[in-house]
Amino acid sequence: MPRLVVFLLGFGIGLAGDATHVASGTTAYDWDGVPTLWNSAIWFPFVVGLAVLGAAEAGRRLDLPARARTRIDVVIGAAVVLALYALTATLRDQPATVSVVLCGAIAVAVWAWWGPTTRSLAVAAGAAILGPVAEMGVVASGAAHYASDSDSLGGVAPWLPCLYFAAGAVASGVLGPLTGARAASKPLTTTG
């Protein structure tokens, strides 16, 4: 998929997902005077788009995806990640144990469904670390904060690594060649 499309996909998911977090009060922006786009500070969707592009580039250098994907596969992957993003906006009143196990199990299923290789696991794990650490930096800078019921992981939400894990897993496989037909998304070798 072209890099611009990958960036725009990340931009759109970041924008819509962040809108759910702000609407639910899970997160809030704290700097005055920053222009907003939907519910986000203007810089947020650009950063997410670039981060998704970075994960996709990392995947491409690792020869991902291991099998060709179709445009429709990418639509499903993006929709599932956005659904998980929105789901996290509904978890403010849940204990961390519940939200982390729920989002973690979904994230593992997304990785295993999308492209279960050690290399995509590496990209997903990298995203699960770097993403929350970067958000801790944002929180420390005073630009934004998580609600007091959702900030137990160094100022960010405890389920945040799970969301980045799922997003990183899917992103790692979107820069390879896409095939036009669904049939071609299957392994090229078949048994029997």
- Candidate residues 86, 130, 134, 153; the one interacting with a copy of itself per rule CB under 8 A: 86
Query: What number of other Cβ atoms are within 10 A of residue 10's Cβ?
Result: 27
Q: Token match 């947020």: residue?
A: 44
- Candidate residues 32, 33, 148, 190; the one interacting with a copy of itself per rule CB under 8 A: 190
- State how far the Cα of 170 lies from the Cα of 110, in Å rounded to an integer: 8
Residue 72 CB, nearest approach to a copy of itself (Å): 4
Q: Token match 């997160």: residue?
A: 27
140 counts as binding a copy of itself under rule CB under 8 A: no
Sign of CA dihedral 83, 29, 44, 153: negative
Nearer to a copy of itself, 86 or 153 (CB): 86
What residues numbered 4-23 form the site for a copy of itself, per CB under 8 A? 16-17, 19-20, 22-23
Backbone angles phi, psi at 43, to 5 degrees: -75, -20
Residue 36 CB, nearest approach to a copy of itself (Å): 14
Long-range contacts of 113-118 (CB under 8 A, 24+ apart): 114/73, 114/77, 114/169, 114/170, 114/173, 115/64, 115/65, 115/66, 115/67, 115/169, 115/172, 115/173, 117/64, 117/66
108 counts as binding a copy of itself under rule CB under 8 A: yes
24 counts as binding a copy of itself under rule CB under 8 A: yes
- Candidate residues 79, 129, 133, 140; the one interacting with a copy of itself per rule CB under 8 A: 79
Residue numbers of the site for a copy of itself (CB under 8 A)? Answer: 16-17, 19-20, 22-24, 39, 72, 75-76, 79-80, 82-83, 85-87, 89-91, 94-98, 101-102, 105-106, 108-109, 112-113, 116, 181-184, 186-192
